[in-house]
Amino acid sequence: MANESTTPTLNDVYYSAIVSPLMMDYAHDWVVATPLLREFSLLGQASNAVDVWSLASDMGTVGANGSGVDAEFDATQGTDLANTALDSNKVTLTAAEYGVMRTITDNVLEDSIAGIDWLRIVLNDSARILMTALEYDTLALLDDFSNVSGSSGSDLTIAQLLAAQTGIRSRGVRAPEGVSFVLDDQQVLDAEAAFIATSTSVATYAAATDRIFGSPGPGPNNGMSNGHVLSFRGAPVFATGLGPTANGGADVTGACFVHSGPGNDPMAALGIVWKRMFRLETDRDISLRATEYVATMRAGVGELFDAAGTSIITDAP
Three-state secondary structure string covering 92-124: EEECEEEEEEEEEEHHHHHHCCCHHHHHHHHHH
pLDDT digits 0-9 by tens, 186-222 = 999 999 888 777 655 444 444 455 455 555 556 667 7
* pLDDT of residue 56 exceeding 50: yes
If one compares 283 and 216, the residue with the highest pLDDT of the two is: 283
Task: Name which of 14-28, 48-62, 227-241, 273-287 the model is least confident about.
Answer: 14-28
pLDDT score, position 14: 59
Task: Quote the radius of gyration of the chain (alpha carbons, Å).
Answer: 27
Report in angstroms the alpha-carbon separations of 214 from 150, 156, 230, 234, 239. 21, 18, 10, 7, 18
Question: Quick one: pLDDT band at residue 22, thresholds 50, 70, 90?
Answer: low
pTM over 0.75: yes
- Give the whole-angstrom CA distance, residue 169 versus residue 144: 19
- Give the whole-angstrom CA distance, residue 121 versus residue 162: 43
If one compares 144 and 21, the residue with the highest pLDDT of the two is: 144
pLDDT score, position 199: 56
Beta bridge mates, 309: 257
- Give the whole-angstrom CA distance, residue 40 versus residue 220: 29
pLDDT score, position 110: 82
- Give the whole-angstrom CA distance, residue 225 versus residue 127: 18
